[in-house]
Chains A and B, each alone.
Chain A
Amino acid sequence: MQMLQYRTAALAGFATQCWWGGIKVMVFAAFYGGSAVAGAASPMSLAQAITYTWLAQGLLVLLPWLADPEVAQAVRTGAVAYDRLRPVDAYVLWFARSAGWIAARLLPRAALMAAFAAVALPLAGLGEWAWQLPASAAAGMAFLLSAGLALLLSTAMVMLLNVAATAALNERGISAVVTPVVIVFSGNLLPLALLPDGWQTALLVQPLAGLFDIPARLYFGQLSGWHALVGLGLQCFWIGLLAASGHLAMGRTMRSLQVQGG
């Protein structure tokens, strides 16, 4: 029964995501369909904007707005003391755990979303609203590689949130501040390319673009060849930087953390 309820909750979440995506698709279609000028004013086609929307819904779990609940609980219950005693680096241990936590939620949801938007929608006669294939096989491979990096990047950010939640003993306030920022700058709200032209460079080099927007650009073949390497490099750069600072911050927090018996 409990399992069933979790499954119902997961399906409810999925239904919400489909609804969200559907409304976005209709709004995009309305904006693009308005006039011939509209299509020209846009750096991406309607079909790309629609595919971007479904991709964003499928990869939603990658967005780091919550600390790993297990870590938060370990700190609250004192179980964190055991992790400190293990002969491995606590950061690496938690990093692996959090990456697994994200991946476990990511894969089924992405698969469901693909089944809905790439298979069910065309079958229902809504082909123009469907999730399209990547620009080429190479683009698809680059996308998969980049999505893997996005998972690591997401984990590095969740680790920073974990450390912050450990220090504050409460993750709700942090997540309230982080969530809107993440949604806008990862490209989940709107393809970053559709934001004003003057912002594009800044939008591309900030770390949150690596969560979703860079993989999506690779998918469409907008970043190809040399540029694709730069995009992947940018993701690696931010993973390295954020993981290093997370490691440092965690060491510092752990030293000052007091485990109260139990």
Chain B
Amino acid sequence: MSFAELLAAALLILSALVVVRTSNAVHAALALIANFLVIAAVYVGLEARFVAMTQVIVYAGAIVVLFLFVIMLLSAAQANVGKDLLPGLQIPAILGSVALAGVLVYALGRFSAPANPGVLNGGLPQALGPLLYTPEKWLYALLLVGFLLLVATIAAVVLVEPERIVPEASKPASEEKELVGR
């Protein structure tokens, strides 16, 4: 690895550790933005420029800002308040994630690339477009994902809708009489 790649890997690990360890939720979201921007730079180095741009626009620009908005809305910046019903979870969590890292590194270490790989064309939109918009390739999957996003938007609106105020006409008759008498 070159020096820039090592620096990017160190920044990725460091910002991820900040995301999972800091006690302030706003700091965690900001560290996540830093992580996503470094990942986008890594994508450019790995010949995936269109995915890098999508990463910056969708993840760092939209998703994390939505997270920040909800953190502010719920006044949930203090991440570790409240009673911990499962004390002593830290050590099993650390052991489990270290074991998971070992298994994943072992499994990925067994991967071997083919002798003569194909051409990526830098991962530009001109290279990805024919794959995305050809019916024999991924066109129908793209349409389905668009429909999924529509359903998710409607679901979010329905979920956060406040409870309806009961209109006057549907109230019980006795209550109505009382109101009229007054």
Are A and B physically bound partners? no
